[in-house]
Chain A
Amino acid sequence: GDSVTQTEGQVTVSESKSLIINCTYSTTSIAYPNLFWYVRYPGEGLQLLLKVITAGQKGSSRGFEATYNKETTSFHLQKASVQESDSAVYYCALGYTNTGKLTFGDGTVLTVKP
Chain B
Amino acid sequence: EAGVTQSPRYAVLQEGQAVSFWCDPISGHDTLYWYQQPRDQGPQLLVYFRDEAVIDNSQLPSDRFSAVRPKGTNSTLKIQSAKQGDTATYLCASSSGTGYGQLYFGEGSKLTVL
Q: Which residues of A contact B (CB under 8 A)?
A: 4, 9, 34, 36, 44-48, 51, 53, 91, 93, 95, 97-107
Contacts of B91 in A (CB 8 A): 45-46
**Which B residues from 91 to 114 make CB contacts under 8 A with A?**
91, 93, 95, 97-108
Which residues from A are CB-within-8-Å of B44?
Answer: 104
When C-beta atoms are compared, the residue in chain A nearest to B56 turns out to be A101
Question: Smallest CB–CB gap between A29 and chain B, Å?
Answer: 14
A-contacting 9-mer, from B12-20, B35-43, B65-73, B76-84: B35-43
Inside 8 A of A9's CB, which chain B residues have their CB? 40
Contact A106 B105 (CB under 8 A): no
B73 to chain A, nearest CB (A): 17
CB of B4 within 8 A of CB of A104, answer no
Chain B interface residue number, banded: 20 to 34
Interface of A is mostly: strand
Contact of A51 among B4, B97, B98, B100 (CB under 8 A): B100
Q: Name the residue on B nearest A94 (C-beta).
A: B101
Q: Which residues of B contact A104 (CB under 8 A)?
A: 42-44
Chain B residues closer than 8 Å to A45, beta-carbon distance: 3-4, 91, 105-108
Cβ–Cβ < 8 Å partners of B75 in chain A: none
Bound form: Cα–Cα A99–B45 in Å: 12
Q: Which residues of B contact A97 (CB under 8 A)?
A: 98, 100
Q: What distance in Å separates the Cβ of A49 from its nearest Cβ neighbour in chain B?
A: 11
Residues of B within 8 A of A93 (CB): 42, 101
- Which of B43, B100, B101, B104: most chain A CB closer than 10 A? B101
Tell me which of B3, B99, B105, B108 contacts A100 (CB under 8 A).
B99
Distance of A34 Cα from B4 Cα, bound (Å): 23
User: Are A101 and B33 in contact, with the CB atoms below 8 A?
Assistant: yes
Which of A98, A102, A103 sits near B103, CB closer than 8 Å? Answer: A102
Residues of B within 8 A of A48 (CB): 101-103
B31 at the interface (CB under 8 A from A): yes
Is A102 a contact of B100 with CB atoms below 8 Å? no
